Amino acid sequence: MRMVLPIEKGDQIMKIGLIGYGNIGRFLLQSINQNNLIKDGRITVISGRNPEHGQMIAEEYGAEYVQDVNQLIEKDVDIVIEAATVEVVKKHAAAILRSGKDFLVISVGALADRSFYEQLHMICEQSRVKLLLPSGAIGGLDILKAAKSIGQLETVSITTRKPPKALPGAPLEEETVLFSGCAEEAIQRFPQNINVSIILSLAGIGPAKTFVTIIADPKSEKNSHSIVASGSFGKLSLNVENDPMPNNPKTSYLAALSVISTLQNKDALIQVG
């Protein structure tokens, strides 16, 4: 049993609800509730489909467990983190935001649907809440947003290279291009592996215009992303090589760290970039 500090009456903390307690969810529970990486923040409620497992994890990290996301929405939390699936985001995002809670989304592939994205944007305006999208496993978003701000971003492409074990069904023996096309289609084909293309497209010229190449490479031991963008600002070329999270080759460790960074800077008085 891990020692978790209790919440004292009168404490002013950011109360966090967490949907999903897989690899990233467990990382967040340890980072926030045990290692105190979010100042005055605590995951107080978790939700997931397996009650026995969920109760055990909740007890371990000093949180409350509820099986249904709708129960979590009714709890006294300030922000909800999704660490589950695209389907969870599509099903519950609107209700979470309408309840007056900020919503941090990891499965950003759900926002490839333009009408869904616009619906959530409208709810945020009406309810005065935030939809937070961490940068995930890539960088360069600040440059894309700067160029986009005056309409001078022309092309954006990303080539993702992963070991075959991170791409179900990929050939194991030789390098293979599994996909080449727009981000909108990439997220439909590889919903668990290509969130980076969606966050890149949302920061830039959109899912329909962002070009994506996915390569299974048996010589690669890590996930890597090569981003190229051009416009009147010049040209951006960026290579990122990520270590996978322990016990989960599909998820970049940097993606998990970006969630912590987003929470740490959520209400920062001084923001860089």
- For residue 30, give the amino acid letter: Q
The residue count for the chain: 273
The tally of CA atoms less than 13 A away on the side-chain side of residue 80 is: 29
* Residue among 82, 84, 108 at smallest CA distance from 95: 82
Per-residue DSSP letters for 155-216? EEEEEEEE-GGGSTT--SSS-EEEEEEEHHHHHHH-TTT-HHHHHHHHHTT-TTT-EEEEEE
Catalytic status, residue 121? no
Active-site residue, from 53, 92, 121, 225:
225
**Which residues on neighbouring strands pair with residue 156, listed in sequence order?**
229
- Which residues are known catalytic residues? 225
